[in-house]
Structures are given as structure tokens and as C-alpha cells.
Amino acid sequence: MNNREIAELFEKVAYLLEIRGDNIHRILSYRRAGETIRDVSQDLSELHEAGQLTSISGIGKTLAEKIAEMLETGRLEFYERLVVEIPESILDLMRVEGLGAKRVKLFYDKLGITTLDGLQEAAENGRLRELPKMGAKSEAKILKAIESLKKHGDGRVLLGTALPIAETILAELRQLPVVTRADIAGSVRRRKETIGDIDLLVAASDAEVVMDHFCGLELAADVALRGPTKSRIVLDNGVGVDLRVLPSENWGTLLSYFTGSQAHNVRLRELAKKKGLSLNEYDLSAVSGNAPPILCETEEAVYTALDLPYVVPTLREDRGEIEAALEGRLPQLVQLTDMRSDLHMHTTWSDGKASILEMAQTAQANGLQYIVITDHSYSLGIANGLDASRLRQQAEAIREANEVIGPDFEIWHGTEMEIRADGTLDFPDEVLAELDFVIAAVHTALKQPREKITERILGAIRNPHVDMIAHPTGRLIGRRDGADVDLEAIFAAAVDHKTILELNANPHRLDLQDTHVRRALEIGVRIAINTDAHHPDQLSFTHFGIATAQRGWATASHIVNSWLPSEMRTFLMSK
């Protein structure tokens, strides 16, 4: 079994344990293991052979033994016992909007429902409404959710899709005179690369006014729930948006609770318990005695009450942030204001939609000091890639654009050069030596065996003229898995040869992903956050890359885009 298959099996175990009603810590351990393994840069079989499975964060002796069992036998006996007790097909019910483990277990225990078709049939025949805490309305909602699932699927949407929607709705709600506070919560606020639902929170003097406006939004294709303090709409693309109207005096604990992650919140509750307190979404209260509850109007007050420095939302994944906070080791994370450059973008010379000057002027307006124009090389014919002759013609066009834009901004000349399927590069060294900055990238033959595609990238890294590797795995989130590359070998080579690795900020890529960024930084890799923009509007993608870098614990010192032009030149000369 490979990493992805092991991760999926652990995630299934977590769902089955949740349906069975197991201890939350046990459920979370399997869920976190699945998430972690999905993001591990090394092949688990290699770690197993080296006896290093427990070196993976969150993998202790028991989980390591289960990973070893799957690697050696291709099966997991514990999972096989679970699906005898709870049929595997019941996991399909967890895909239905609004159904959690408790309801799924109720349907199974009382009606023997184990499949999606069985659930639909029971709802259509009026059998669900006879169950505790169910009724005709609940039954109708389930039928509508099943219909939506069949129409839209249950796939998560990109952060790049969800965040603008959340910001648009929130901006409209903030215009209501009754609204005093409003914020995004959930995985959107933590800036996860994909989103299940959008969570919005509002404090207001009149909840009914807010709910009326929210449920009447033009964006709403359907109102799935309309309540006094919580409502839910479903958009045309199938994404659900939950709105909660909350009391302002409890804003801090409520925002913290609904931001998550679940694992981070569990850790906060454990810290509260050690102080003799109980933490929930409304307050911190003494476990014993008659002391009044502690109300927190801000999130900072919640962390202060627990003797913790404030943990920003992008770090709240229980990946060591609690320990770092307790020990005073939280990083000063990279910010958008640290960015001075964008080293990867395209123009009409290849497959871009704007001229060199238009891209430069937009970048300057965004506060940058310099950019690199990196149009595709000729092997990528579909992208109108440049050969050496056109590349030299472009050099003259860049000189002209620099004269127009003036002395306060610099346009550098580069290329995004293809690493061909046989490992050779599109341009010889004498052509590369003429450029200010050279990117190498893999766009084709991504299904090659691990050893071959890794060696293609390593060969480019070893070339002293190659300054950066773009989007190292080549993934497109939700559309194409990344290549099966040995990232550990690539990280090590990048350090040895002073080659920058890119965090591509396009929300369809976010490659390197957050956990890979963190591992790369541990090894000493230099990271660039670039937009790979093909249109001036896409130069605004930088903030998605910043959020991903923050989730990888990156500081400005880790990110080469924070360097002055003179600092970048010095580095490139040293290489």
C-alpha cells in the first residue's frame, strides 16, 4: 500500500469509530494520522525499513505498527474487524449534507440503513420522521441533501473559490446597522487549501434582521435551515454557507470555537481543565465552586486566560503550535507586507493575457519592487513557448519596458524552462547564462515512475544556471494528483545547490503544500512565493501563498521574495 491508500484507510477508521461512538481522542488520532500521512514527503515504506515511522508527527508505537502491517500485508486487520461490526457502505451516509455520526448511527441502529439508496428510500416512505428528534421537515431536508449530493457531489471546493464568496457575503452583512461584529470562521479562516462549508459569525442587536437578509441573498439557491440564531443557505455550486448570530460578550470564545480546528480546540480544553476550568463556546467556567464564568470578548482574552500567547488561525491544526506557545517559540510568520518581488509570471509572449509593461505596472501598484518575466520555453508548444531566438527578442522588449516604467521598479528577464521527459532542458547553458533568473519545471510525463521523475528534477537542480524549481509536484488540486516525487531528495539537493523551491500561490496549485513547506524549512530550503500569474488580476494570488506559507510556519527570513533586488543579485552570483 502507498501513502495515499494508508491515509485513506486511517480516515475511514476514524469515521467508523465516530459512528460507533468511541473516545474523541482515539477518533482524532486516526483522523490526524490520515491527514499527516497524506502530506508526508517521504515514502512510508522507506521510513518503515529505516525504523523511523514514529518520527512522523502524531505517529506513536500503535499507529506505527498498523502502518507496518499495511505496508507488509496490504491490509489492516483492525479495519476489517470494524467493517464486520459496522458495514463499510455506511460511510456513504456521512457524505450527506447535515448528517453526522450520531444520526447515521441512529438510522443504522433503528432502521438498519447502511446505504445511500436505503436512506433515500426510507425518507421517501416517511420512515425517518418516526425516529427521535426527527420529523417531516428533517426528512425533507435529507431528501434535498441527497439530491444535492447526486447533483454536485461532496467534493471540497478550493480556498480560492470559497474565500471570495465568504468575504462578499460578510461585507454585505456588515452594512446592516444592527451588526456590530462579523468574521469568517472554520477552515476558510484557517486558510485550508480546500473547504467543505463556509462558516460566518455575526454579533448583532437584532438577529432576525440579519437572518432575513442572509436567507434572502441573491447568491442563495436554497435555504436549507432558517432559525433564530443559525441559518444555512446552499449556493448554486452546492457549497453550504452557515451563519450564526452570537452575543458580543462571548465573541472571543465563540470565534475561537467555530474557527477550530477540532484538534486544536481539544488541546485548549485540556489546558483549561488543568487550570480547573471548563472551556466551551460560550465561556470559561470553574469546574467546582461558585466563581462567575469568565466571558471573553476577544480571542486574545481566551488565550490569555489559558496563559498562552495568541495563536493565529493559520497555525491552529494541533501540529505543535500549543507546545511552541507554551515554550515561547511561536514564529513571527511571514506577512504580505514582507513581499518585494514576484519571480514567476507570464505575458502574451507565451500563454499570458497581458503585456510585459501591463504586468509590471500592476505589480508596482501592488507594492512590489521587482518582478521576473518567465514565459514558457518552446517544448511546451501548447503554451506558445519561446525558443532561443524569441527569448532574445523578448530581452529587448524587457529593456524597453524598464525604460518606460522608470528607476523605482525593475523588470528582470527569465524563463520557465521545461524539464523534458528524458531529463534534458530546453535551453543550453550559454542561453541560460544570458538570463537574470532561470526557472525549471515539469509539466509533462507526470506519471513517470518515482525514481525517473525525481531524477529529472534533481538534474535541473544540479545545473548551476537553474535558480528555482516551479510547483515541484505539478499538482492541480482536485483535478490532478502531484507527481510521485521524492521530496526529501529534492529538498536535500536544493539546499546543497542553493536552488530555490517555489510555493506556487495559484489556489489551484498551492504547491508546495503547507506540510511540505514546513519540512523543507526544517532542512534549510529557500522558498519563493510566486503567483505564476497569466493575467494582471492573478498577481493578487500572493495572499493565498502567504497563508500556505504561514501554515508551514514560514517567517519572512525563509522567503526569498522578502529580499531586496541587490540581495537577490548577490545570492544568484554566489550560486
**Domains of the chain by residue range:** 3-152, 157-246, 250-326, 336-574
- pLDDT at 443 > cutoff 90: yes
- pLDDT at 154 > cutoff 70: no
Cα distance between residue 153 and residue 156, in whole Å: 9
Selecting from 2.40.110.10, 3.30.460.10, 3.90.1150.10, 3.40.190.10, what CATH number does the domain 157-246 have?
3.30.460.10
236 — pLDDT class (breaks 50, 70, 90): confident
Give how far Cα 434 sits from Cα of 409, 429, 502, Å: 21, 9, 22
Burial of 504 (0-12, 13-18, 19+ CB in 10 A): buried
- pLDDT at 222 > cutoff 90: no
Residue 350 gets which letter from DSSP? T
43 — pLDDT class (breaks 50, 70, 90): confident
Burial of 247 (0-12, 13-18, 19+ CB in 10 A): middle
Cα distance between residue 435 and residue 440, in whole Å: 13
Mean pLDDT, residues 334-362:
97
Residues 164-199 have pLDDT tens digits of: 999 999 999 999 999 999 999 999 999 999 998 999
- pLDDT at 341 > cutoff 80: yes
**Least-confidence region, from 89-98, 331-340, 360-369:** 89-98
- pLDDT at 152 > cutoff 80: no
The whole-number pLDDT of residue 133 equals 84
CA 70 to chain centroid = 27
- pLDDT at 435 > cutoff 90: yes
- pLDDT at 529 > cutoff 80: yes
Q: What mean pLDDT is reported for the chain?
A: 93
Cα distance between residue 31 and residue 260, in whole Å: 15
The whole-number pLDDT of residue 155 equals 60
Q: Cα angle at 228 between 222 and 234, to 5 degrees?
A: 15
- CB burial string 311-333: b at 16+ within 10 A, e below: bebbbbbbbebbebbeeeebbeb
- DSSP, collapsed to helix, strand or coil, labels residue 467 as coil
**Least-confidence region, from 132-146, 267-281, 403-417, 470-484:** 132-146
Q: What is the largest CA-CA distance in the chain?
A: 81
Cα distance between residue 153 and residue 81, in whole Å: 29
Residues 96-150 have pLDDT tens digits of: 877 888 889 889 889 999 998 899 999 999 999 888 888 888 888 888 888 877 7
Cα distance between residue 209 and residue 230, in whole Å: 12
Q: Which CATH class is domain 336-574?
A: alpha beta
Q: What is the DSSP string of 219-230?
A: TEEEEEEE-SSE
Report the DSSP beta bridge partners of residue 480: 476
CATH number of 3-152: 1.10.150.110
Q: Which CATH class is domain 250-326?
A: alpha beta
Cα distance between residue 408 and residue 391, in whole Å: 25
Q: Cα angle at 267 between 67 and 78, to 5 degrees?
A: 25
- pLDDT at 573 > cutoff 80: yes
